[in-house]
Amino acid sequence: MPHIKLITKINAPIERCFDLSRSIDLHKISTSQSNEEAVAGVTSGLINLNETVTWRAKHFFVWQKLTSKITQYEANVLFVDEMVEGAFESIHHTHKFEYKNGETIMTDDFIFESPLGVLGRLANAIILNHYLKKLLVKRNEIIKEYAESDLWKKVLTN
């Protein structure tokens, strides 16, 4: 199964980074290029343990839906979202957070499996690995931008 690992260093408190990472509203902002919209489950605010969100987005000129569930959660340390319905065989995304030397270190472990056996593996090698990594990098850039400025106040409300 393909595995994408990203490490992002953010000059902001761990609590802010953790909450921005599970913000449905910030996710929408970070995926504007695919017109992602939360259409069921938690559709705004922060997602928590055992909650689901269904995303509708356009990827490769096709509208798709993907539902994920938060299956593990330890405040300000980690959370895991897993696909429960969608085009992939599986998606398992672990978000880990550590505060070290005055900055938050955010680690994404994104593991996915495509359908269609050999054809799916070929699609991974040719298109999907790069495409999904690009989406995750963009998302992390937005999280970093919001966390390190006052922009976080626009999406994190008490």
Token pair for residue 104? 């938050």
Q: What is the DSSP string of 14-53?
A: HHHHHHHHTBHHHHHHHTGGGT-EEEEE--SSB--TT-EE
Q: What is the pLDDT of residue 157?
A: 78
Please tell me the distance from the alpha carbon of residue 92 to that of residue 15, in angstroms, as a whole number.
Answer: 22
Q: What is the CATH number of domain 3-155?
A: 3.30.530.20
pLDDT tens readout for residues 70-92: 999 999 999 999 999 998 999 99
What is the residue-averaged pLDDT of the chain? 93
| Nearest Cα residue to 49 out of 29, 68, 27 | 68
Token pair for residue 53? 């969100």
Q: The whole model's pTM is what? A: 0.93
Q: What is the pLDDT of residue 65?
A: 95
Query: What does the domain layout of the chain look like in residue ranges?
Result: 3-155
